[in-house]
Each structure stands twice: as C-alpha cells, then as structure tokens.
Amino acid sequence: MDSIITLMNPKIYLAPMAGVTDLSFRLISRSFGAAHCFFEMVDSMSTVYGHPKNSRLLKTHKKDSPIAAQLVGADPKVMLEAAETLISLVEITSLDINSGCPAPKITKKGAGAGLLKDTAKLSKIIKTLVSKLRIPVTVKMRTGYSRRDLSECVRTAKECEASGASTLFIHGRIASQGYSGDIDYEAIRAVKEALKIPVFGSGNIFDHLMAKKMLDETGCDGILVARGALGNPWIFKNIENYLECGKDPKIPTLSEKKKVLKKHLAYIEKYKDIRLSNKAGYMGKVAMTYLKGFPSARRIRDDICRVRSYKELLKLINRVKIKR
Ligand SMILES: Cc1cc2nc3c(=O)[nH]c(=O)nc-3n(C[C@H](O)[C@H](O)[C@H](O)COP(=O)(O)O)c2cc1C
C-alpha cells in the first residue's frame, strides 16, 4: 500500500501517435481521464509551406484542451518558423520536438530519432525555439539510436535540459527497436535522477500494472499512454484509480465497449475530414481495436474491414454478440 500512496498524482497523458491520436481519439481519451494530449506530429517544412494536410491534423474543439503540438524536423530556422506558424493557428500549451521517430524517411533527413545522432543540432533547435517562443519547449526522445549506451542517453537528456527544454518525454527503447522489445527502465531512471525538469516515461503501458511498474522502476513524474489506449480508453481511469486506492479495474462488458465505440465512431463521422471511402475503412480499423478478443467479432472481422459506410458499420457492430 505504501508505494501506492507515494505514487499519487503522477501525470497521465495520451502519447502522440501519428495516424491514431486524431480529434476523435483525443475526445474519447479525455472523457476517460487523459489529462493532456498532443496533436498528431506535424512536419516543420509542411507547416511552413501551409500543406493542406496540416489543417486536418490540427483540427480541434473547445473540449480538446489542454493540448501540445509536436514538430518533426532538423533545421532550427525552419523549426522556429513552423512553431510560430503553429502558435498562430492553434492554442497550444507547449511545443514538443520529436526526437524519437525511427521511420527511415524521417531519420535520413536527420530528423526524429536522427537528432540523437547529432545532439549539437538537437540542442541548437531547442535553444532557438526557447529563445523566441513564449510557450514551453519539450523533447520526446528515445534512450538511444542504434545501441544502448546509458551514459550517452543521460548526456543527451542533460543537454536537452541545459538547452532549455522544460519537460522530457522518454520512450524506453532505442530507435532501432521500433516498437517492440523490453523497456529500458534503468535508462529512464538514470535520466530521471540526472535531471531537474519533469521526466515522463513511455513504453509498454498496456494496463494499470504496467503503468505502476513504469512509475516504480523509474521514479518518473508522469507517463504517456500510447498503444494501451487503442480500443481501450478505460485505461486512463483504471490507472488513476489503481494508483489512488489500489483498486483493480472492472473489465468493460461487450455492451459497454460497443457504446463507447459508437461514440468514437460518431466523433469520426463528425470531425474526420477524409474521403468518404477512406473514412469507412478508418472506422472499421478503429472498431476492430475495441472488439479485439470477442470471438463473434473475429468472425465478422473481414466484413468490418470492408464496410463502405458508417451506417453499414453500425449494423455490423450490432451483430456482435457475447455468445460464441
Ligand atoms: C502508430 C504509432 C504512431 C506513433 N507516432 C508518434 C509520433 O508521431 N510522435 C512521437 O513522439 N511518438 C510516436 N509514437 C510513439 C508513442 O508515443 C510511444 O512513445 C510508443 O508507442 C511507446 O509506447 P507503447 O509501447 O506504450 O505503445 C507512435 C507510436 C505508434 C504505435
């Protein structure tokens, strides 16, 4: 019980996930207790040139607050111009620098996790933004690029802090691990102990127990819930309740899941600006994340993935029953 009491009030945020954490996902997550969210990552160059995709990525709502934005890029001047553009378009609490994306099309330009290979550049970007922006600048990084090196990881984190970053989000994997493999709690702990600014841990937070493990093992100030929130917005309240009073969560029933899924789909129908044909496919994917594990859903999985309209999908969801 002691450790539960000492862990009261860590911050529980929804992590940025490109292609996933759109307005509908954020609204659902917030309704279950996500304290803070991020817009999906935006590219600095596209922001400066006003790419039409950005207005879709930056779609928001008065209930979608507080919210941060995350920029990916490698040129300090372009990053600054992009940040200023973002601030003029949307109300954000802070600006995050993506220093963790492992996608080759990003890292080959020196951006995302590529910045971990050129920490002087990362530091320059932070300093440039901090000197000109009136909102806090944060960094989301990995524990390394292609090899585990604890002292290098701590050095990079300290450089971010010394350059003016106000919070560090750290995904406990090196970039070459992608999204699989164990979480390096030791590295996150070493960073937390070396820094004065808040440190958030990220990685494998799939339920309340994994959340507690991250907090216990690293001593971090907050956590980012990422894939654990897919089809499972309950995770935010479950973590909060468990940390507050050690209560094991109630597993949502199929009908509770269907109710929240329908709300999520209604948000997509209302807010997602994509072609109608793509929209139905997108909704189908979201539906499968909620229905995963129900045998009757498995049977109509192909139908769900092929739906051509919102209405058709609702009919299919109603067909998912508890009996096997
Ligand atoms: C589909 C997907 C998209 C992601 N997009 C971003 C992103 O745009 N920016 C970012 O900093 N991290 C991104 N991440 C990383 C997550 O924020 C998180 O750090 C990572 O998934 C580890 O947490 P998990 O193991 O609990 O999922 C993404 C992860 C996934 C699975």
Can you give the residue range of the structural domain that contains 276?
254-319
> Does residue 54 sit within a domain?
yes
Number of domains present in the structure of the chain: 2
**Which residue is closest in CA terms to ligand 1's atom 10?**
16
pLDDT category of residue 6 using cuts at 50, 70 and 90: very low
Q: Catalytic annotation on 37?
A: no
Ligand 1 centroid to 54 CA: how many Å? 19
Same domain for 310 and 212? no
Best CA proximity match to 25, nearest among 264, 216, 228, 226? 264
From 228, 245, 262, the end of a domain falls on 245
Q: How far is CA 135 from the centre of its chain?
A: 20
**Which residue is closest in CA terms to ligand 1's atom 13?**
17
CATH number at 20 reads 3.20.20.70
Confidence check: pLDDT of 3 > 50: no
Same domain for 180 and 299? no
Mean pLDDT of 11-35: 97
What is the pLDDT, as a whole number, of residue 295? 80
> Does residue 259 sit within a domain?
yes
Same domain for 264 and 311? yes
Same domain for 241 and 136? yes
Same domain for 283 and 154? no
pLDDT digits (tens, 9 = 90+) for 202-211: 999 999 999 9
Same domain for 263 and 165? no
Mean pLDDT of the chain: 94
Same domain for 215 and 258? no
Same domain for 216 and 265? no
> Does residue 324 sit within a domain?
no
pLDDT digits (tens, 9 = 90+) for 259-279: 999 999 999 999 999 988 799
pLDDT category of residue 297 using cuts at 50, 70 and 90: confident
Same domain for 269 and 193? no
From 245, 264, 284, the end of a domain falls on 245
Pocket test of ligand 1: the residue of 227, 230, 282 to mutate, having most ligand atoms within 8 Å of its CB, is 227
Burial level of 297, CB count in 10 A (0-12/13-18/19+)? buried
Same domain for 225 and 272? no
User: Taking CA 255 as the corner, what is the angle to CA 249 and CA 259, rounded to the nearest 5 degrees?
Assistant: 95
Same domain for 39 and 179? yes
From 245, 266, 281, the end of a domain falls on 245
Confidence check: pLDDT of 150 > 70: yes
Confidence check: pLDDT of 324 > 70: no
Same domain for 280 and 236? no
Lowest mean pLDDT of 30-39, 80-89, 94-103, 268-277, name the range: 268-277
Q: How many CB atoms sit inside 10 A of residue 314's CB?
A: 18
pLDDT category of residue 152 using cuts at 50, 70 and 90: very high
Pocket test of ligand 1: the residue of 12, 17, 106 to mutate, having most ligand atoms within 8 Å of its CB, is 17
pLDDT digits (tens, 9 = 90+) for 109-124: 999 999 999 999 999 9
Distance CA 286, CA 179 (A): 20
